[in-house]
Amino acid sequence: MGNSPIDSKLKEIGCVVSFLRSTQAPISREHVNSDEPLPWSRNMSNRPIVKVSPTVNAEGALVVSCFPSVGMVSSIVAHFLIERLELKFVGGVRDARLPALCLIQDGAPLPPIRIYAGEPQCNMGECDTLILLMSEMVVPERLVFELVEAMFEWSKSAKIGAGVLVDAFPKKGMDGGPNSEHEPVVDYEDTPDIDVLGVGATQHMREVLDEMGIPLLEHGVLRGMTGALLGEGRRRGLDLLSILVEADPRFPDARAAAKLIEHLNVLLPSIELDHEPLLEEAERLEEQLKAMMETQLIPPDGGMNDGGYTNSMLYG
């Protein structure tokens, strides 16, 4: 692999995902189907806590949510936004049931679910602040609804304006192997281009998607944080929309991330997000992968045997 900044970032994301998957705390059998707090959490709050710096003026802000997705699209988009919009780390999520770890970046510790903020002008309402919520970690299913509840409580008190959920779905005929239970199930008309679909929690947000030129997902199932946020958002009448892009589940799909960023440009008119570096990186990665497959260093399905990387590593 080369040493371009994006290549280094993809390696970093892969290492983070690998580490997170290898550090899941063991849970005793008696706690698997129990509502009793886990032993190490009995003296702590048993609900997730969203902590954001009081210096952030979140009133009317646009929140972009990037939780693990097919082809690492959400992580690529998140890191791209942090770098290009110069977003600053402003908080994170605490919960005793999350892995007891921190991520290290430039010598500083960061929580696995973290929050960044900046002030690029956006095009949804009167917002002048963008807040990014991201993680390379798949949120345990038993924590999803509690985390969603905590996020909505915080967003209500902070007077958030609207939310955009970044996600991806596998190309037709492909799945993520061991991670297929986390993937969206999408019924769509496959085209030669990279397909993009949208879901709006309210009629207003469905109209926003139409104005953005994003066709609505007619039938499907969304799982994990995106599914729970959209479902609860509709119940509460909150302005949330999700942009889903078709991605290759076998590899980090920078090309799909670039396609999604094209649409984010509509929401961030003051700053043109140049997605060309991602396209160049995608072309370079594709050439390398083709060369590897031709020399049979990796099988055509993108996995690696004998203890090497598998599809489970490519979620972020």
Query: Cα(112)–Cα(240) distance, rounded to whole angstroms?
Result: 23
pLDDT for residue 195 is more than 90: yes
- With cut-offs at 50, 70 and 90, classify the pLDDT of residue 289: low
Distances in Å between the Cα of 39 and the Cα atoms of 29, 35, 43 are: 13, 12, 9
pLDDT for residue 7 is more than 60: no
pLDDT, tens only, 92-136: 999 988 888 888 888 999 999 999 999 876 655 556 789 999 998
In the chain, what are the domains? 5-22+67-296 (3.40.50.10900)
pLDDT at residue 15 in the model: 53
pLDDT, tens only, 165-175: 999 999 887 76
Cβ burial of 154 (10 Å; 0-12, 13-18, 19+) is buried
pLDDT, tens only, 198-207: 999 999 999 9
pLDDT, tens only, 224-281: 999 999 999 999 999 999 999 999 888 888 889 889 988 888 877 655 666 677 677 6
**Contact indicator for 116, 89 with CB cutoff of 8 Å:** yes
